[in-house]
Amino acid sequence: MKSIYKITLALSVIIALNGCKKFLTELPLTQVEVNSYYKSKKDIDATLAGLYASFQVEMIGTGSTTKRSDGIPANLGGKYHYWGEGRSDNFAPGQYTNTIIIELSRNTLTAGNSATNWEGLYRTIARANSCIQKYPQIPKYDPTVTTTILNNSLAQAYAMRAVCYFYIVRLWGDAPIRTEPYEDLAVDPKMARESKDKIMDEVIIPDLIKAYSLINKKTTANIWYINEGGIAAILADAYMWKAGTKNSTADYNNAITWFKNIFAAYGSTGVAYNAGDNGINLEVTATWKNLFLTPNLTKEAIWSINWDNTQNKCACIPISIQTSNNPVRVDSAIHANWQKNVADTRVRKTYDIDPGTGQGTGHVDRVFKYYVTNAANTAIATTAELSNVYLVMYRLGDVFLSYAEALNKIGDQTNALRYLNYIHVRAGLPAILATDPSVSTAGVIDVNKLEDVILQERQWELFAEGKRWFDLVRTNHVNKIMDPIINDRIRRSTGIVGTTGFGTNTDKILWPLYKTLLEDNKKLVQNPSYD
């Protein structure tokens, strides 16, 4: 018996004295420390997937239809459409609406609107920063990571960072600049906003140029990732934004340079996008919708966001099924007006024009563009949860119209019209002649009229592709387009006539900073008119 006590006692002492440090070390069983990661090719694959997934979640949604245990709310759809079109004349509150779109559609945005949160973009930026910092160490551990693989991977991280900052600059203007991972709590994480010009000139454009220099060129594009054409397209877009908002001819020329770089890049079929300067690589009229259903099989696609419902679950975009009801509907004006142009083959492929069965569930205001529909084009073939939605970031059709816009601005109206017509004709419409009164005055092409027609073509061609609001801001068309629309929306909901529409306060073109961002970072200052 005594020996039992001795052993027990001895054991106690041994455990107590020697075992404690080791005994009290419990490494997490589902995660690893950051410092022991980033060592092989598969780590690159996984973190690149993390980088794109972060962006994907921000744009399309979390996929979840119920509140997650970690507190992330049920999917209200991604911000792609809220950001790109929520404040435009494309969308309005639907029957099952939410505060996000009510505020966006009436220019009554508040800091409590969850679409004004840039958190997901900065999360994506942080992931890009980690990739940029950690990837260069990987070849040391894994010789299969060649310079080409490394450079291609780095190029995507740089480009993704630029895309996120580009959204931030366009939506909120000034913003904090972070180009390094935040790694130590002892360092104050609060950063003040820096000017949007600085972000554009010192982050976005250099990042993209760096990305372009790193990316493997003249190879078949994988359009689910940012490729050679994609980088050039973002750069062209960035210069267009600079050019439009600052009315700078030099930047239109910069943009044109990059448009040409897009044309030289290879698409997903391994041919240059526009080598012959003839538009033959556009998807043809009959299969136009493949750009949204199977973009990877088209020659036109440049960069689309992937979605796989078996893994990503519900692509609950708010403009369509969401989970069962869409909070956002196609604005009644465009819904009614566009379909009058029966020759335009895009209408029926874009949204539900069915007058409805009158049974209460015929949602006549849903966007169908991203979905396989029934033969009559009156209903989506499957449920939201089983649908893949491939949101378009850039495609050649978009690029052609931007190119046309740039050419028009630098005085090359002939070619501008030519590029406009590639798209216009593909839609099933007759080519617009230079003498057409819509684009000319007394037979001479009118720069402003042509700009408006290009803008209109962009609205139709790129409906639900997240472009319209940026188009309106870039071309300074916000008041011109939105005043009557918002007037009408206010009249219909409140009965008050004669409001000022969007209003004369141009501060309101920028979005407010989401309120909790200001609470978490005391160095941030709210945008004017949103205090």
Partner 1 sequence: MNKNCTKQTPFSMNTFLQKSGGLKALMLLVLLQILGSATYAQTIKVTGTVTDVKGEPLPGVSVKLKGTAVGTSTAANGKYSLMVPGSSSVLSFTFIGYVHQDQTVGAKTIINIKMAEDQSSLDEIVVTGYGQSVKKRDLTGSISSVSSKDIEERQPVTLFDALQGMAAGVLVTNDSGDPAGQGTIQIRGASTINAEGNGPLYIIDGIMSADAEFVNPTDIESIEILKDASSTAIYGARGANGVILITTKSGKDGKPLINGTYTSTYAKLAHKLRTTTADELRMYRAYRGNGNGASVDSLNPYLNADNDFQDLLFRTGRKQVMNLSLSGGKSGNKYYGSLNYLNNDAIILNSRLKRLQAKVNVDNKLTSNLKISNNLAFAYQNGNEIPVGNTAKQVFEKNPWTSIYRPDGSLAGYVESKRNPVAYALLYQDVDNNYTAQYNMRVEYDFLKSLKFTTLFNGTLNSNSTDTFSPASLTQGGTGDATGTNFFYRKFGWEYQAFLTYNRTFGKDHVFSALGGFSADRNKTDTYNVGMFNYLSEAINTSNAGTIDLTKVRTAANAASSASFFSRANYSFKGKYLAQTSYRRDGSSKFGVNNQYGNFFSGSAAWRFSDEKFMSWSKKFLVDAKLRYSIGQTGNDAISGAAQYTLMDFGEQYYNGYSAAAESISMGNSKVQWESATMSDIGLDLTLLKGRMTFTADYYSKITANLLYNNEIPKEAGKSKSVINLGKIQNTGLEFTLGGTPVSNKNFSWNVTGNISFTKGIVKELANHVPYQAGNIFYLYEGGSIGDMYVWKNLGVYQYDVSNAYDAQGRKLTPEGITINTEKNTSTAAGYSLNGQPYTGTVYQKKRNGVVLQGGDTEWLDVNNDGIIDDSDIVIGGNGIPKYFFGFNNTFRYKRFSLNFLFNGQVGNSIYNAVKNGQNTNSSTYSPPTYDAILGSWQKQGDIAQYPLFTRKDDRGSIKNGYNSLYIEDGTFIRLSSVRLSYSVNPKLLTKVGVKSAQIYLFGTNLATWTNYSWYDPEFSSKTLEIGVDNGKYPKMREAGFGINVNF
In the region spanning residues 200 to 229, those forming contacts with partner 1, defined by CB under 8 A, are 224-225
* Smallest separation, CB 333 to partner 1 (Å): 19
Q: Which of 366, 367, 327, 363 is nearest to 98 (CA)?
A: 327
Q: Which of 383, 414, 435, 505 binds partner 1 (CB under 8 A)?
A: 383
The residues near 478 (Cβ < 8 Å, ≥ 6 apart) are 472, 502, 509
Q: Which of 80, 83, 91, 118 binds partner 1 (CB under 8 A)?
A: 118
Q: Which of 6, 14, 18, 23 binds partner 1 (CB under 8 A)?
A: 23
Contact set for partner 1, span 397-416 (CB under 8 A):
none
Contact set for partner 1, span 46-85 (CB under 8 A):
46-54, 56-57, 63
What is the C-alpha separation between 172 and 169, in angstroms, rounded? 6
Q: Which of 53, 64, 47, 56 is nearest to 389 (CA)?
A: 56
Phi, psi values for residue 328, rounded to 5°: -115, 130
* Smallest separation, CB 528 to partner 1 (Å): 16
7 binding partner 1? (CB under 8 A): no
* Smallest separation, CB 224 to partner 1 (Å): 5
* Smallest separation, CB 310 to partner 1 (Å): 6
Q: Which of 67, 144, 183, 507 binds partner 1 (CB under 8 A)?
A: 183
Q: Which of 292, 295, 289 is nearest to 267 (CA)?
A: 295
Q: Which of 126, 138, 162, 301 binds partner 1 (CB under 8 A)?
A: 126
526 binding partner 1? (CB under 8 A): no
Beta-ladder partners of 380 = 373
* Smallest separation, CB 50 to partner 1 (Å): 3
* Smallest separation, CB 49 to partner 1 (Å): 4
Structure tokens at 418: 């030519």
Q: Which of 75, 88, 130, 413 binds partner 1 (CB under 8 A)?
A: 130
198 binding partner 1? (CB under 8 A): no
Structure tokens at 407: 């050419």
What is the C-alpha separation between 214 and 200, in angstroms, rounded? 20
Give whichever of 12 and 337 is closer to partner 1, judged by the CB atom: 12
Give whichever of 354 and 412 is closer to partner 1, judged by the CB atom: 354
Query: Which one of 28-36, 137-145, 213-221, 395-403 is the stretch in contact with partner 1 (CB under 8 A)?
Result: 28-36
What is the C-alpha separation between 192 and 502, in angstroms, rounded? 29
What is the C-alpha separation between 439 and 104, in angstroms, rounded? 31
Please name the helix (run of DSSP H) or strand (run of DSSP E) that holds residue 366, with its range, or none.
none
Give whichever of 46 and 447 is closer to partner 1, judged by the CB atom: 46
What is the C-alpha separation between 414 and 407, in angstroms, rounded? 9
Contact set for partner 1, span 92-111 (CB under 8 A):
95-97, 102-103, 106, 108, 110-111
Contact set for partner 1, span 336-375 (CB under 8 A):
360
Cα distance from N-terminal residue to C-terminal residue, the chain: 78
Query: Are residues 410 and 443 in contact, defined by beta-carbon separation less than 8 angstroms?
Result: no
Give whichever of 152 and 408 is closer to partner 1, judged by the CB atom: 152
* Smallest separation, CB 401 to partner 1 (Å): 27
Q: Which of 437, 446, 436, 442 is nearest to 413 (CA)?
A: 446
Q: Which of 311, 355, 376, 498 binds partner 1 (CB under 8 A)?
A: 311
Q: Which of 249, 476, 516, 529 binds partner 1 (CB under 8 A)?
A: 516
Query: Which one of 83-91, 210-218, 303-311, 349-357 is the stretch in contact with partner 1 (CB under 8 A)?
Result: 303-311
156 binding partner 1? (CB under 8 A): no
- 3-state SS class at 426: helix
The residues near 167 (Cβ < 8 Å, ≥ 6 apart) are 83, 121
* Smallest separation, CB 299 to partner 1 (Å): 20
Q: Which of 227, 185, 234, 180 is nearest to 205 (CA)?
A: 234
Residues binding partner 1: number (CB under 8 A): 91
Q: Contacts for 362-365 with beta carbons within 8 Å, 24 or more apart?
A: 363/325, 363/326, 364/335, 365/94, 365/326, 365/329, 365/330, 365/332, 365/335
Structure tokens at 96: 């099952």
